[in-house]
């Protein structure tokens, strides 16, 4: 049964190839989570919001209240390229000085694709922060389905770390996705992509954040990403970013109102056009400041 | 006793050297497979093994550290003269010109402990050797876990002959013992067997167990007798044009202090590089307080490919087409070349150092004799190479420092009539600005067999060049260093069918946000001519261009955790018309101290290169004093883990497992080194016992 898993899916494959999407999420890459990360040109390895569960599990460690969020993404106005995700994260044990004593767990369910080709995943992540350093890990259960060809499952293990080099000013992050190099099919050694990303975030004031990041998948060219966030007022943030590999420029907005966080991002690909990202999060903190 | 006890207690506890960081800061990125770089680094790190005493070190000793600027050395010597010996390393903070970064960098390699003059007060020599703390026995084992072609059984044909196979086991073994005290003595024994070599007792074949054996005994500071070395030793005088001991770091990111070589004279040899040392005796005597004389004699057998002349009219009946420097004796043909040439070297150095230490000058002579003639293959590019059985090289060197300017140089001539000269200048224009310049010229028939002054070629021949260096610290925590080097090759070279030229430049911007973190970005470009691959009757070399970029980050966010990230990439094209080829590596390291006895280090790296031309050399951490710089090409992952276990006060263990996993490959390596399958896994274990 050494049959190429994707053999008869040329229509879908060609769409995937065309979109350049394949460079990022081919056969279940790490992808991007949350419209905030999308607006920053995917330079998200140093972020620590609830979507850290997918962007870099180490960032979960800084979460101080239970949080739930939903995310929807549409690429190039094609419904076959939709992604939806739901994430829930909660601190374990007591929270002291805004830090969970025993770390934070997060769970995420995600679905990408349409009727002909789809990817589903359930991921469980854990992040712990001690001093100026956070570490995190995540396990993904992936399923790829192609209509008429059935489906394949794989387990991917990921590790992440974040460290404040200069407290609150300069943050480093690194994330290794699928370190076990999980195999999808014997034919041509088809594997879940192994991706390593590393980046720096410079935060000269509480309002400004500049991120740079490099990302490498073993079989794809290296990607360089940069993003900037400016918090105009406490309730509103403006964001912009770019990615060199897919030649996309991104922009977005973020609103914060009490426990509610709404982010929107739009990305422009020179050849393929518009992608849109929307995420809504709710933080269940009894004493909201 | 009590007084001694308190003096001891005040001494700053010498931190363990971060050799990996030192490598990052000093060494050039590797450019070729020709040089056994891993062993070269080991030689240099062995040098740092014996800490030098800040209270007795001469200007030349301090320069040899490569970590202090000329200005800092002058300030330290003045301070020592005015206030007497330093009582503790903490006192360095009071010496003008010493910033914290310099002190942290130098601290693992220096000490302020008692001066050399009191050697006699510590008891007779045998007792001092016996009681010395700085001693260690190393035992290292190394093996590739997969089976390689060279170790498989090969089918024999009807005549009982088969394809070449390695004679020995795939295990690599190293045993080394060394005890030393700066300015007093050094005693060491080394035995090594490379993978594929045999362990055999065969006095006829000059093999006594391990394939490579080395030993030395050196005493220093015995009144007028400054140094006496018996066994294996190295020599370095002047700018290393005639005698260089493997302490060169080449063109790298340190553009000032490593440009000038130090006349460190005779030094013990305990490394495993099988070709860069002398075997015999050497002595340095103080003739007057300002004049020192060194004499040495060495006789050893070296590997060479010896042939008999087929033509009765040939110049030599028996000759060698060249030295073999790899030190491998694994196959019957490699064994046949083992120690076939006898080399006898004698020479000396006479040097004068003014009372102030500002002026130093000297003369060097090296006379070499081989028992069989050297005659390289009759190719046009070998036209002016050394031939025959005898070479005498004579040279003169000088150094002069005045104020903030240091000039230095060396000029030498070989019996062929060829000559070489290297002259340089280091200047501190301001406390934050240092510049350097170096001019070199080695004629096409200049033969220096043990020299290794700065050059683009691996040997000092057929080259002229101009090097300019700069180091600026514009604001605190930031440093910019750069060099530009232009070179000409007036005669042909291997794979270069015409006179050629090229250039090379590097810029590095370093930012040290805190005492324990370091970030840098480095750009380098090299343009050099090579014959194009197309078969033309008369090859016209074309300039090849290589750009490389390196981003590096190293921090210890907590005392127990270390993080390192390395992003490096390069692009290369063979001619101006050919397309760019690219290579890229992203590596993430983490190291954690678990309790007091265990330290774990791991790396995960992804690499992707278009071709072998864009292969990436990536520094890796290894067991203590070992180095690993694999060349990664193709696509895949490189992972390693190291455990350092301090079992007892005497015993430390290192275990290392590294694996390269290639994508889309069914074999790894070629020839006898070929592995079936996409993985290559290396295991290494080392034990250190201190008596």
**pLDDT, tens digit, for every residue of A165-199?**
888 899 999 999 999 888 887 777 788 899 999 99
Which are the contacts of B609, defined by CB distance < 8 A and separation ≥ 6? B581, B582, B583, B584, B615, B616, B632, B633, B634, B635
Q: What element of type H or E holds A36?
A: helix A35-39
Q: Give me the residue from B517, B569, B584 closest to A165, CB to CB.
A: B517
Chain A residue numbers with beta carbons less than 8 Å from the beta carbon of B588 are: 174, 176, 196, 198
Mean pLDDT of B445-472: 91
∠ CA A62-A64-A65, rounded to 5°: 135
| Residue among A45, A58, A163 with most chain B CBs within 10 A, to mutate | A163
Chain A residue numbers with beta carbons less than 8 Å from the beta carbon of B519 are: 165, 200
Look at B604 and A196 and tell me if their CB atoms are within 8 Å. Answer: yes
B664-678 pLDDT tens trace: 899 999 889 999 999
The residue ranking higher by pLDDT, B236 or B1, is B236
Chain B residue numbers with beta carbons less than 8 Å from the beta carbon of A172 are: 553, 555, 563, 565
Residue A170 touches chain B, beta carbons under 8 Å: yes
Distance CA(A59)–CA(A160), nearest Å, equals 8
Q: Are A116 and A82 in contact (CB under 8 A)?
A: no
Longest dimension (CA), chain B: 83
DSSP letters, B340-403, are: -EEEEEEEEEEEEE-TTSSEEEEEEEEEEEEEEEE---S-GGGTTS--EEEEEEEEEEEEEEET
Residue B204 touches chain A, beta carbons under 8 Å: no
Q: Are A233 and A219 in contact (CB under 8 A)?
A: no
Looking at chain A, the whole-number percentage of residues with pLDDT higher than 90 is: 53
Q: Which residues pair with A267 in a beta bridge?
A: A250, A275
| Residue among B515, B548, B557 with most chain A CBs within 10 A, to mutate | B557
pLDDT reading at B2 higher than 50: no
B395-427 pLDDT tens trace: 999 999 998 899 999 999 999 999 999 999 999
Give strand ranges (E) for A222-259: 223-233, 236-243, 248-257
pLDDT reading at B183 higher than 80: yes
Burial A54-77 (b: 16+ CB within 10 A, else e): bbbbbbbbbbebebebebebbbbe
Distance CA(A253)–CA(A269), nearest Å, equals 19
Which are the contacts of B448, defined by CB distance < 8 A and separation ≥ 6? B241, B242, B366, B393, B412, B414, B420, B459, B460, B461
Look at B637 and A181 and tell me if their CB atoms are within 8 Å. Answer: yes
Q: Give me the residue from B514, B553, B586 closest to A172, CB to CB.
A: B553
Chain B residue numbers with beta carbons less than 8 Å from the beta carbon of A131 are: 557-558
- Cβ atoms within 10 Å of B569's Cβ, excluding its own: 21
Look at A131 and B557 and tell me if their CB atoms are within 8 Å. Answer: yes
| Residue among A177, A196, A202 with most chain B CBs within 10 A, to mutate | A196
Q: Are B384 and B413 in contact (CB under 8 A)?
A: no
pLDDT band of A3, cuts 50, 70, 90: very low
> Where do runs of H (alpha helix) occur along B122-270?
125-131
Q: A164: nearest CA in chain B?
A: B557
pTM summary value: 0.84
Min Cα separation B551/chain A (Å)? 11
Q: Give me the residue from A133, A216, A217 closest to B557, CB to CB.
A: A133
Q: Give me the residue from A131, A218, A220 closest to B636, CB to CB.
A: A218
Residue B586 touches chain A, beta carbons under 8 Å: yes
Min Cα separation B170/chain A (Å)? 29
Q: Hey, which residues 606-635 in chain B have their CB within 8 Å of chain A?
A: 606, 608, 635
Residue B590 touches chain A, beta carbons under 8 Å: yes
Chain A residue numbers with beta carbons less than 8 Å from the beta carbon of B551 are: 214
Indicate the range of A254-268, B314-328, B347-361 predicted with least confidence: B314-328
Instruction: Name the 3-class secondary structure at B225.
Output: strand
Distance CA(B301)–CA(A230), nearest Å, equals 71
Q: Nearest 10 degrees: CA dihedral of B675, B590, B551, B428?
A: -120
Chain A residue numbers with beta carbons less than 8 Å from the beta carbon of B606 are: 194-196, 216-218
B195-239 pLDDT tens trace: 999 888 888 888 888 999 999 999 998 889 999 999 999 999 999
Residue B325 touches chain A, beta carbons under 8 Å: no
Q: Give me the residue from B555, B605, B661 closest to A163, CB to CB.
A: B555
Mean pLDDT of A130-148: 89
Mean pLDDT of B356-368: 93
**Res A85: pLDDT:** 93
Q: How many CB pairs lie under 8 A apart between chains A and B?
A: 79
**Res A22: pLDDT:** 41
Q: Hey, which residues 645-674 in chain B have their CB within 8 Å of chain A?
A: 661, 663-664
B476-498 pLDDT tens trace: 889 999 999 999 999 998 888 88
Q: Give me the residue from B553, B557, B590 closest to A164, CB to CB.
A: B557
- DSSP at B14: P
Look at A132 and B557 and tell me if their CB atoms are within 8 Å. Answer: yes
Chain A residue numbers with beta carbons less than 8 Å from the beta carbon of B636 are: 218
pLDDT averaged over every residue in chain B? 87
- Phi/psi for B679 (5° steps) reads -120, 150
Min Cα separation B107/chain A (Å)? 23
Look at A132 and B636 and tell me if their CB atoms are within 8 Å. Answer: no
Q: Which residues pair with B286 in a beta bridge?
A: B292
Looking at chain B, the whole-number percentage of residues with pLDDT higher than 90 is: 45
Instruction: Name the 3-class secondary structure at B419.
Output: strand
Give strand ranges (E) for B490-597: 500-511, 517-530, 542-558, 561-573, 581-594
Which are the contacts of A15, defined by CB distance < 8 A and separation ≥ 6? A78, A80, A81
Look at B513 and A216 and tell me if their CB atoms are within 8 Å. Answer: no
pLDDT reading at B105 higher than 70: yes
Chain B residue numbers with beta carbons less than 8 Å from the beta carbon of A197 are: 586
Q: Which residues pair with A257 in a beta bridge?
A: A260
Q: Is the Cα torsion angle A284, A65, A175, B26 positive or negative in sign? A: positive
Burial tier of B249 (Cβ tally within 10 Å: 0-12, 13-18, 19+)? buried
Longest dimension (CA), chain A: 59
Residue bearing tokens 């696509």: B635
Chain B residue numbers with beta carbons less than 8 Å from the beta carbon of A132 are: 557-558
Query: What length does chain B have?
Result: 691
pLDDT reading at A276 higher than 90: yes
Residue A204 touches chain B, beta carbons under 8 Å: no
Look at B635 and A219 and tell me if their CB atoms are within 8 Å. Answer: yes
pLDDT band of B555, cuts 50, 70, 90: confident
Chain B residue numbers with beta carbons less than 8 Å from the beta carbon of A220 are: 608
Indicate the range of A16-20, B47-51, B58-62 predicted with least confidence: A16-20
């Amino acid at each position: 049964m050494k049959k190429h898993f994707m053999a008869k899916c040329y229509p879908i494959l060609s769409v995937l190839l065309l979109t350049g999407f394949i460079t990022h999420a081919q056969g279940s890459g790490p992808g991007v989570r949350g419209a905030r990360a999308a607006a920053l040109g995917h330079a998200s390895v140093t972020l620590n919001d609830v979507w850290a569960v997918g962007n870099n599990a180490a960032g979960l460690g800084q979460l101080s209240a239970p949080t739930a969020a939903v995310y929807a993404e549409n690429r190039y106005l094609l419904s076959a390229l939709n992604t939806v995700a739901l994430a829930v994260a909660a601190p374990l044990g007591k929270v002291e000085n805004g830090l969970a004593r025993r770390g934070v767990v997060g769970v995420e369910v995600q679905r990408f694709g349409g009727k002909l080709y789809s990817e589903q995943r359930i991921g469980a992540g854990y992040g712990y922060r001690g001093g100026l350093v956070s570490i995190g890990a995540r396990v993904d259960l992936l399923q790829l389905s192609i209509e008429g060809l059935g489906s394949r499952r794989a387990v991917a293990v990921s590790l992440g770390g974040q460290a404040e080099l200069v407290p609150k000013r300069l943050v480093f992050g690194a994330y290794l996705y699928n370190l076990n190099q999980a195999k999808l099919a014997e034919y041509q050694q088809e594997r879940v992509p192994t991706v390593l990303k590393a980046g720096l975030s410079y935060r000269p004031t509480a309002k400004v954040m500049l991120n740079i990041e490099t990302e490498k998948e073993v079989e794809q060219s290296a990607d360089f990403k940069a993003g900037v966030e400016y918090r105009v007022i406490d309730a509103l943030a403006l964001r912009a970013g770019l990615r060199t590999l897919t030649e996309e420029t991104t922009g977005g907005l973020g609103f914060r109102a009490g426990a509610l966080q709404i982010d929107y991002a739009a990305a422009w690909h020179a050849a393929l056009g518009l992608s849109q990202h929307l995420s809504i999060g709710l933080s269940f903190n009894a004493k909201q400041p | 006793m009590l007084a001694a006890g308190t003096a001891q207690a005040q001494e700053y506890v010498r931190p363990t050297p971060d050799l990996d960081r030192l490598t990052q800061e000093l060494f050039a990125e590797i450019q070729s497979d020709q040089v056994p770089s891993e062993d070269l680094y080991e030689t240099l790190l062995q040098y740092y093994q014996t800490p030098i005493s800040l209270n007795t070190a001469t200007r030349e000793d301090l320069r040899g550290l490569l970590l202090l600027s000329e200005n800092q050395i002058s300030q330290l010597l003045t301070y020592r003269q005015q206030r007497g010996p330093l009582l503790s390393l903490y006192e360095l903070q009071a010496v003008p010109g010493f910033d914290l970064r310099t002190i942290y960098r130098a601290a693992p390699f220096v000490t302020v402990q008692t001066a050399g003059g009191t050697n006699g007060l510590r008891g007779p020599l045998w007792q001092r050797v016996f009681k010395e703390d700085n001693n260690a026995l190393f035992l290292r084992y190394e093996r590739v876990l997969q089976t390689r072609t060279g170790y498989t059984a090969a089918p024999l044909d009807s005549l009982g002959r088969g394809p070449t196979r390695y004679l020995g086991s795939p295990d690599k073994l190293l045993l080394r013992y060394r005890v030393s005290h700066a300015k007093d003595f050094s005693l060491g024994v080394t035995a090594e067997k490379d993978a594929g070599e045999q362990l055999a007792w065969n006095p006829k074949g000059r093999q006594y167990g391990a394939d490579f054996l080395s030993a030395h005994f050196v005493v220093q500071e015995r009144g007028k007798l400054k140094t006496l070395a018996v066994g294996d030793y190295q020599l370095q005088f002047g700018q290393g044009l005639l005698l260089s001991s493997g302490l060169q770091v080449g063109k790298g990111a340190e553009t000032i202090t490593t440009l000038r070589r130090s006349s460190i004279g005779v030094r013990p040899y305990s490394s495993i590089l099988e070709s860069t040392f002398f075997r015999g005796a050497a002595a340095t005597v103080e003739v007057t307080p300002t004049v020192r004389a060194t004499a040495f004699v060495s006789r050893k057998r070296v590997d060479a490919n010896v042939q008999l002349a087929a033509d009765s009219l040939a110049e030599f009946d028996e000759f060698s087409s060249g030295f073999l420097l790899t030190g491998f004796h694994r196959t019957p043909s490699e064994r046949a070349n083992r120690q076939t040439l006898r080399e006898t070297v004698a020479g000396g150095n006479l040097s004068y150092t003014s009372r102030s230490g500002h002026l130093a000058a000297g003369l060097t002579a090296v006379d070499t004799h081989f028992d069989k003639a050297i005659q390289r293959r009759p190719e046009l590019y070998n036209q002016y190479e050394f031939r025959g059985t005898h070479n005498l090289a004579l040279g003169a060197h000088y150094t002069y420092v005045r104020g903030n300017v240091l000039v230095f140089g060396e000029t030498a001539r070989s019996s062929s009539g060829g000559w070489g000269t290297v002259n340089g200048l280091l200047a501190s224009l301001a406390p934050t600005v240092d510049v350097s310049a170096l001019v070199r010229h080695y004629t096409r028939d200049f033969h220096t067999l043990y020299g290794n002054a700065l050059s683009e070629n691996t040997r000092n021949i057929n080259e002229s060049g101009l090097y300019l260096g700069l180091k600026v610290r514009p604001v605190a925590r930031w440093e910019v260093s750069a060099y530009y080097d232009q070179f000409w090759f007036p005669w042909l070279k291997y794979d270069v069918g015409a006179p050629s030229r090229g250039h090379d430049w590097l810029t590095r911007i370093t930012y040290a946000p805190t005492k324990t973190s370091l970030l840098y970005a480095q750009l380098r470009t090299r343009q050099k001519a090579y014959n194009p691959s197309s078969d033309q009757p008369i090859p016209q070399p074309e300039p090849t261009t290589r750009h490389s970029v390196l981003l590096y980050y190293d921090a210890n966010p907590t005392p127990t955790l270390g993080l390192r990230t390395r992003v490096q990439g390069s692009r290369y094209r063979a001619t101006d018309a050919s397309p760019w080829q690219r290579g890229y590596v992203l590596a993430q390291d983490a190291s954690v101290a678990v309790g007091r006895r265990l330290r774990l280090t791991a790396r995960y790296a992804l690499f992707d290169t278009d071709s072998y031309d864009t292969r990436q050399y990536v520094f890796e951490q290894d067991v203590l004093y070992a180095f690993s710089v694999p060349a990664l090409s193709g696509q895949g992952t490189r992972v390693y883990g190291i455990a350092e276990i301090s079992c007892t006060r005497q015993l430390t263990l290192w275990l290392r497992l590294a694996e390269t996993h290639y994508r889309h490959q069914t074999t790894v390596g070629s020839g006898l080194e070929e592995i079936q399958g996409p993985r290559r896994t290396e295991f290494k274990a080392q034990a250190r016992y201190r008596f």
